[in-house]
Structure formats: structure tokens, C-alpha cells
């Protein structure tokens, strides 16, 4: 059974056969948190122009919806405490305390890979809401969820990274089946290319594209071929290094691309300028004239990433989409 990506609430993985974990009997396995104690190292998909065929990847291809959220590893420690960290290892528990509290009932030793998302009651996702306060999200009627798509360690802390993706997905399905309708959900997935292409043509708000994964692949962050992503909108993340104009009403962003500084264009809209100004509080440094750009730049401290879309033409233009913390 395949799940269409029309909603996030109530989502579940496609049905998969039961798969018992080695050494995870009811006699009480020894909780081994070796995987959880390691530095965060997550697999990253390689951007490709089109989805690979159903047999193009090792063991066949699994297609998953790519969500617009914050990538995060969730590790359940002894006593049920959940350690939620970004892909760079930044602790996220204080940002999403209600989500972490809701995850406390997951099996000890479990280590998941997934996405933190903010969902409306209709199931649409709001990326910018992740940067707001918990109070602001509650007022807006948004719920923060953790959408899991892989397992690094199963219940009891058993390292499953060397097992094929199909096995890891089955373990995830068993974990989620014991907690239906909770704040931890499974990503929409299919093994049918036609279905995945249909999703690409009608993705709901907050869903960016699809990730194709080799069903026989191990979980190895050094492997950049087994996961491939296709996004409906072709954007890139570039570090923000400065702004042009007042810090309270910036007109353009200065980003670094391939070792050189670039200006975003056209001028920021009113809502864009306000969102950037809010993010700049406490980060703006001195001003300087940049001869290459031909403008006066206000330096910005490291830690923010601008998502931009490269628009082709006589001269390539970087069109600003949004700003987010570099977590």
C-alpha cells in the first residue's frame, strides 16, 4: 500500500513485513547507545535532473517525498530522554520542547533520521514557522512533527546501518505501528515510478520533490550515489555574508558562491526585507565598500543561509527565496 503525499497528519509508511531485531527479545536487551553517542553524520542525497528508474539503483528504487523542514537525528537515551540534533549536530530540544516531550515514549536506544516539520491542520507544511517561537506556532494552529525516513539504530541501540534500506524501513514501520497517529510519522513512499512522477506534478505546499533511494544500500554518509533527489524548484543554499541597505530594511543580500561574492536580485520585497531584518538582529557588523560588487556592504556574522534560485538569462541572477539558520 502506498501513501500519497496529500497530508502529513496521520501519515504512515507503506506496509512492510515484520522484521525482528537481532537480540531484541522481551528478556530485556542491553541498551547500547554507541550510535547515539557518535557525532551526527547523516546521508545526503545527490541532486539529479530526473528520477531514476525502478531498477536503476541497487536492489530496486524506493521513492520518498522530500519535505520542506529541518533535517534532524533523533536518539532515544536511557530513561526515554530524546536527543534531537540538526545535521550539523546543533541541539534542537529547546527549540521544539513539545515535540521532544511527545517523542519520549519511543523505544530506548532508537536512533532515527528524519525531518522536523511544522504542519497546519490541513497537512500543509510551513517552513518559516520552524524559526518562530512555540507560542507563535500554537497561535497559528501549527503542530511540529518529526517525519522519519530511516533508522540508524533499532530498539535496544542495535546498530542497523550495515543492513539494507528495506530492512531498516521495516524496522521503522514496526516502531511507528506501535504509536499510530503520534507526533512521529513516516514519510510518504512508493516503489512505483509512475506514482512518484504523479506526486512530482502535484505536490502540496511544503513538499519539495522526491528522493530516490537504493533499496539494498547501507546507511553510509560517504555514499553519495545511493540517494538521489529531484526538486520541483531548483534552488541552492548559499552562506549569507552581508546585506545592502539598512539592516532594518535591506534591499539585497550578499552571498558567497564558488568562492566569490554575489548579490541577490531583484530588490527584496517588503515581506522578504522584514523577515531578513528580524533574522539579522544581533548579527550585523560594520560597513565597507566592495569594489567588485560596486556597493556598500553591511557585514553579517556567520550562521545564516540564503536559499536562492538561479535564474538563467544573459547574466545569471540569484533570486532570493528565504533565509534560515545554518544548523
The pLDDT tens digits of the residues spanning 216-226 come to 999 999 999 99
What distance in Å separates the CA atoms of residue 202 and residue 289, rounded to the nearest whole number? 45
Q: What are phi and psi of 106, to 5 degrees?
A: -70, 155
**C-beta of residue 220 within 8 angstroms of C-beta of residue 43:** yes
The per-residue pLDDT for range 113-130, each reduced to its tens digit, is: 999 999 998 888 988 889
What is the grid cell recorded at 152? 540508524
Indicate the pTM of the whole model: 0.74
46-50, 91-95, 173-177: the lowest-pLDDT one: 46-50
Neighbours of 282 (CB within 10 A): 6
Sequence-separated (6 or more) residues with CB below 8 Å from residue 82? 74, 75, 76, 93, 100, 103, 104, 106
What is the percent of the chain with per-residue pLDDT over 70, rounded to a whole number?
87
Question: What pLDDT does residue 322 have?
Answer: 87
- Interstrand relation of 284-290 and 295-300 (parallel, antiparallel or unpaired): antiparallel
Sequence-separated (6 or more) residues with CB below 8 Å from residue 20? none
* Rg of the chain in Å (alpha carbons): 21
Answer whether residue 175 shows pLDDT above 70.
yes
Q: What are phi and psi of 83, to 5 degrees?
A: -100, 105
22-31, 166-175, 273-282: the lowest-pLDDT one: 22-31
Question: What pLDDT does residue 5 have?
Answer: 58
DSSP 206-255: TEEEEEEEETT----TT--SSEEEEESS-EEEEEEEEEES-TTS-SEEEE
Q: Residue range 118-147: average pLDDT?
A: 91
What distance in Å separates the CA atoms of residue 208 and residue 213, rounded to the nearest whole number? 16
Helix spans in the chain (H): 34-37, 97-102, 134-139, 165-177, 193-201, 270-280
**C-beta of residue 256 within 8 angstroms of C-beta of residue 241:** yes
What is the grid cell recorded at 49? 535532473
Sign of dihedral through CA atoms 288, 293, 298, 301? negative
Question: What pLDDT does residue 60 have?
Answer: 98
Q: How many helices (H) and strands (E) does the chain have?
A: 6, 17
Three-state DSSP at 97 gives: helix
- Cis ω before 243 (30° cut-off from 0): no
Amino acid at each position: 500500500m502506498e501513501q500519497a503525499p496529500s497530508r502529513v497528519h496521520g501519515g504512515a509508511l507503506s506496509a512492510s513485513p515484520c522484521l525482528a531485531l537481532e537480540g531484541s527479545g522481551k528478556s530485556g536487551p542491553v541498551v547500547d547507545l554507541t550510535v547515539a553517542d557518535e557525532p551526527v553524520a547523516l546521508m545526503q542525497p545527490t541532486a539529479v535532473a530526473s528520477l531514476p528508474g525502478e531498477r536503476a539503483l541497487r536492489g530496486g528504487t524506493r521513492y520518498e517525498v522530500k519535505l520542506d523542514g529541518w533535517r534532524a537525528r533523533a536518539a532515544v537515551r536511557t530513561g526515554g530522554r530524546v536527543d534531537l540534533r540538526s545535521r550539523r549536530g546543533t541541539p534542537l530540544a529547546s527549540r521544539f520542547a513539545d515535540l521532544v516531550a511527545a517523542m519520549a515514549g519511543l523505544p530506548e536506544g532508537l536512533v532515527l533520521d528524519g525531518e522536523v516539520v511544522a504542519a497546519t491542520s490541513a497537512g500543509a507544511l510551513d517552513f518559516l514557522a520552524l524559526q518562530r517561537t512555540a507560542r507563535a506556532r500554537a497561535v497559528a494552529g501549527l503542530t511540529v512533527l518529526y517525519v522519519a525516513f530511516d533508522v540508524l539504530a533499532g530498539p535496544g541501540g542495535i546498530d542497523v546501518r550495515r543492513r539494507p534500506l528495506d530492512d531498516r524501513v521495516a524496522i521503522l514501520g514496526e516502531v511507528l505501528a506501535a504509536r499510530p497517529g503520534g507526533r512521529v510519522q513516516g514519510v510518504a513512499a512508493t516503489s512505483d515510478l509512475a506514482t512518484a512522477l504523479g506526486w512530482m506534478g502535484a505536490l502540496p505546499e511544503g513538499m519539495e520533490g522526491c528522493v530516490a533511494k537504493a533499496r539494498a544500500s547501507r546507511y553510509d554518509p560517504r555514499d553519495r550515489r545511493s540517494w538521489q533527489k529531484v526538486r520541483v524548484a531548483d534552488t541552492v543554499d548559499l552562506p549569507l555574508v552581508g546585506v545592502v541597505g539598512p539592516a532594518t530594511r535591506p534591499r539585497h543580500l550578499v552571498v558567497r558562491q564558488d568562492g566569490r561574492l554575489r548579490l541577490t536580485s531583484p530588490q527584496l520585497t517588503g515581506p522578504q526585507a522584514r523577515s531578513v531584518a528580524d533574522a539579522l538582529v544581533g548579527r550585523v557588523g560594520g560597513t565597507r565598500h566592495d569594489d567588485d560588487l560596486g556597493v556598500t556592504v553591511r557585514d553579517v556574522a556567520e550562521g545564516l543561509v540564503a536559499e536562492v534560485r538561479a535564474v538563467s538569462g544573459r547574466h545569471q541572477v540569484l533570486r532570493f527565496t528565504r533565509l534560515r539558520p545554518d544548523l
